[in-house]
Amino acid sequence: MAAKWFSGKWLFWGAFVLLAIVALVFTIRPDPVWVDLATVSRGPMEITIKEEGRTRVRDRYVVSSPVSGYLHRVLLEVGDPVIPGELLTEVDPMPASTLDARSRAEAEAKAKSALSALNSARQKVAAARAEADLAMRELARLQALSGENFVSQERLQQARAAADRAQAILRSARFDEEVMAHELAAIRTRLEVSAARASGSGAVERVPVRSPVNGSVLDVARKSEGVIHAGEAILELGDPGALEVVIDVLSFDAVKLSPGVPARLTGWGGGTLDAVVRRVEPVGFEDVSALGVEERRVQVVADITSPRDAWKTLGDGYRVDAEFVLWASANELQIPESAIFRTDGQSLVFRVVDGRAELTPVSTCRTNGFHTVVLDGLSEGDRVVRHPDRQLADGSRIRIR
């Protein structure tokens, strides 16, 4: 009886100690770490640069006034089509001012004075012509006598000099006559134009302004009529069917681009359009971001290669999102970039094996900031921990969120 009681007692206390040990082990054992997992998979991958851009008509033509004058009102609106040689507007010469009573009386008096001066010049021409004729006859008479040795050579030279002087005086008198005639004509013209201006008569010679290209009106710089100076802009024309895209790219990314790099255009309200880089500007500029950060940017110009029907509603100055494709592959083994961390230059991940996190070195290459290509260390279908924290260690138990 006592032996049975003793064996039952030891059995009880042995079970109690075993339960206590198990409870202690479960108490001091670390709790599983909550983690997010990602699966190693194969698929297409691209490395791109995405920036905001705007469309721009490739060839723009500023139509300016060829002369100074009075511009007629421009009836064209932005978007109206034009063809080469089409009349855009006209420019009248600057109108002559109308003379008041006092100015007209002074002009008429100047006209009479100019007429009298012209008559005086004509009389001087007549007198000079008579003197020249007399000198020429005298020279001819002496030349006839010199052949018979009745006139000395000195006398003949004096007569020749007198004839030349008389001809010079005649020419000078004729020039004075022409000057007086022109001055009289100028005064009479001013009077006639002023009279025509006052009465509203008289033909006005208008200068037409025509379109140099086939396209549309992009901007109307001067709409209303009024005085305009030569070279002042009136309209801006261009062909909206010949668009290019201008993208401001960070200089850090611009060095990765070159002519011929493919691009995709989205975010303009239609489908995805294909484009190709035509030029990377060699000069950068400073820009301030929306957060107030100063940035160095470079303009990149791209041509749209998609059919015109796919972007016929796209116009000048429209916003687009441009995505430059630097590298692309159709089938790459990849994992999220957030699963990789680096220690002493070695890329590592936590691979999930039987509910535990196993520290695994991996070999990687290209990355687009979201996914990274894996060369060695993982296989398709493996699961890895995303965003591993400091609580996680090699062999740690995990619990999936």
| Residue 108, pLDDT above cutoff 80 | no
Assign 30 a pLDDT band (cuts: 50, 70, 90): low
pTM, two decimal places: 0.62
Tokens of 384: 């890895």
Per-residue pLDDT at 266 exceeds 70: yes
Q: How confident is the model at residue 280 (pLDDT cuts 50, 70, 90)?
A: very high
Copy the structure tokens of residue 397. 């138990």
Burial class (CB in 10 A: 0-12, 13-18, 19+), 151: middle
pLDDT mean over 69-92 = 90
Tell me, what DSSP letter sits at residue 397? Answer: B
Q: Are the beta carbons of 80 and 235 closer than 8 angstroms?
A: no
CA distance 110 to 4: 159
Which pLDDT band holds residue 1 (cuts at 50, 70, 90)? low
Token duo for residue 388? 């591993």
- Give the C-alpha separation, 364 to 332, whole Å: 11
Model confidence band, residue 248 (pLDDT cutoffs 50, 70, 90): very high
The model's pLDDT over 136-164, given as tens digits with 9 standing for 90+, comes to: 887 787 777 776 666 777 777 877 788 88
Residue-level pLDDT at 29: 58
CATH of region 59-238: 1.10.287
SS3 label, residue 132? helix
Q: 53 by DSSP, 3-state: which?
A: strand
241 token code pair: 């069917």
What residue spans define the domains of the chain? 33-43+330-400, 48-55+241-329, 59-238
pLDDT given at position 334? 93
Residue type, 352: V
Say how far apart CA 271 and CA 310 lie, in whole Å. 8
CA-based nearest residue to 383, from 342, 339, 347, 341: 339
Query: Are 33-43+330-400 and 59-238 equal in CATH topology?
Result: no
CB 238 within 8 Å of CB 61: yes
Q: Alpha helix (H) ranges present in 29-152? A: 101-146
Per-residue pLDDT tens for 165-209? 888 888 887 877 887 787 777 777 766 766 555 555 545 578 899
The CA-CA-CA angle for residues 220, 226, 231, to 5°, reads: 60
d(CA 128, CA 169): 6
Which of the residue ranges 19-28, 98-107, 127-136 would you say has the lowest mean pLDDT?
19-28
Tally the C-alpha atoms within 13 A of residue 243's C-alpha that lie toward its C-beta. Answer: 29
Q: 269: closest CA among 224, 331, 199, 319?
A: 319
Give, in degrees to the nearest 5, the angle at Cα 77 between 74 and 79. 140
Average pLDDT value for residue range 8-33: 67
pLDDT score for 42: 93
- 333 with 365: CB under 8 angstroms? no
List, in sequence order, every residue forming a beta bridge with 248; answer none if it has no partner. Answer: 299
The CATH architecture that domain 33-43+330-400 belongs to is: Beta Barrel (2.40)
Q: What is the pLDDT of residue 25?
A: 58
pLDDT band of residue 363 (cuts 50, 70, 90) is very high
Task: Say how far apart CA 49 and CA 257 lie, in whole Å.
Answer: 9
CATH code at 48-55+241-329 = 2.40.30.170
From CA 131, how far away is CA 168, in angstroms rounded?
11
Q: Judge whether residue 78 has pLDDT over 80.
A: yes
Confidence at 27, pLDDT banded by 50, 70, 90: low
How far is the CA of 276 from the CAs of 5, 69, 179, 283, 297, in angstroms?
94, 46, 70, 20, 19
What is the DSSP-derived secondary structure letter of residue 30? P
With residue 22 as reference, give the H or E element that holds it. Answer: helix 2-28
